[in-house]
Amino acid sequence: MGDGMNPGSMRFLCALALAAATSLNGVHAAEYYEGKSITMIVGNDAGSGYDAYARLLTRHMGKYIPGAPQFVVRNMPGAGSIVAAQHMGNVAPKDGSTIAILFPGALVEPLTGDPAKYRYDPTKFE
C-alpha cells in the first residue's frame, strides 16, 4: 500500500482530526487545550508521505483549535500502522491529547480478519 493520498482523503483526514481534537464532553475546548500539547502519532516512518501530511497539518491546526495547543509529531512505524494502532488502543490517553494518522488497513483488518491477532479494538476508536 502506498502512502500517497488524494486531495479528498486529505480534506477528510483534516476534518476528522479537527473534530477529534475539539469534541470534548462538557468541557470548553479553549480552557482544556490552552497551554497543552497534542501528540500526533504517525503510523509510518519519518520522511514518508503520511509523515509529511501530519507535519503539514500540525503546523497549522493549533491556530484553528480553541486554546491554540502546540502539536508534537511522533512517528511509530511498524506492521502497516498496527504498532501505532495498538498504542492508541492500549497506551495513549483517551482525553483528546493524542490523535493518529494510520494506514486504513490497521483499522479494517481487525474487523474483517481474525480479531484474535490484534491487541486493540478499532471499534473503540473515536
Give the span between the Cα atoms of 65 and 83, in whole angstroms.
Answer: 28
pLDDT tens-digit profile of 1-51?
455 667 776 676 666 666 665 555 446 778 888 999 999 999 999 999 999
Cβ atoms of 60 and 21 within 8 Å: the answer is: no
- Indicate the Cα dihedral angle 18, 23, 28, 30, nearest 10°: -20
pLDDT tens-digit profile of 42-98?
999 999 999 999 999 999 999 998 899 999 999 999 999 999 999 999 999 999 899
pLDDT tens-digit profile of 99-108?
999 999 999 9
Q: Which residue has the cell 469534541?
A: 23
Chain mean pLDDT for the chain: 87
